[in-house]
Structure 1
Amino acid sequence: TLIVARTDALAANLLTSDVDERDARFCTGERTAEGFYRVEPGMAPVIARGLAYAPYADLLWMETGTPDLDEARAFAEAIHARYPDTMLAYNCSPSFNWKAALDDDRIAKFQRELGAMGYRFQFITLAGFHSLNHAMFDLA
């Protein structure tokens, strides 16, 4: 059994509940008409959640909206400062606009640099989804 803990706090701006004291400092005090709690997204809540999950998870996954080595490094350094052996995961999504974020040289080195930071599981979730659908199409 492998326990993977994922956080989308980098972009998330809503929570369903404000009962977790670890989220309190990120809550704005506002609620939506539907009852969601507004929170400030960013690296601070990402790191806070990663540190909270680390003692209980085998692998930490911080979801990002762009391929960003600075964000990946900030997360890795914060986690490894307290939990040096924690394995990290990174979604190398084909949905990213890689060319808009990085030049060809940085793209070529991206995965190696992630690996050097401790990102032991680098994956493409969309590829798995497509291969699953292809197999089901063949089965049908």
Structure 2
Amino acid sequence: MRDSARLIAIDLDETSIERSTPDIEHERAVAIYDLLADNQFEPAGDTGGPYRLKIAVVEKKLVFAVERESGEPVVTHILSLGPFRRIVKDYFLICESYFEAIKTATPSQIEAIDMGRRGVHNDGSQLLVERLEGKITVDFDTARRLFTLVCALHWKG
């Protein structure tokens, strides 16, 4: 991909994404920081990057509004969150298991749970790549970071 095929800013729509606890707000900020630090992102048929991404959740749909660095709109894509529901739920359950395990489990048990967590995270990332196919081109690492952010939008605390 070209050097300009990347995100330089991510804004969460405060009218559709509720503020949460300080810990969860921190997780969201970290997810955004990680995503901006290293990503490949290009709307299909566009070569005018770098891009800004505004994310909203409207009627159980994920809204990606892509803009140029100047703020000029490029495209808006709406993805149903339905296909992600099971994977996000599984991811949260395995994360809970992991955090409980680190209190009392053996290192090999913790490693096994963490491998499962990474597997579920990879499944969610692959689903995101598939849902964005033909709309936005991302590499797998960018999809992983975007999936982390999608999960962070759903954490209740």
Shorter-chain TM-score category?
under 0.3
- Larger helix proportion of the pair: 2
In terms of Rg, which structure is larger?
Answer: 1
With a CA cutoff of 8 Å and minimum separation of 6, indicate the structure with the bigger relative contact order. 2
TM-score normalised by L of structure 1: 0.25
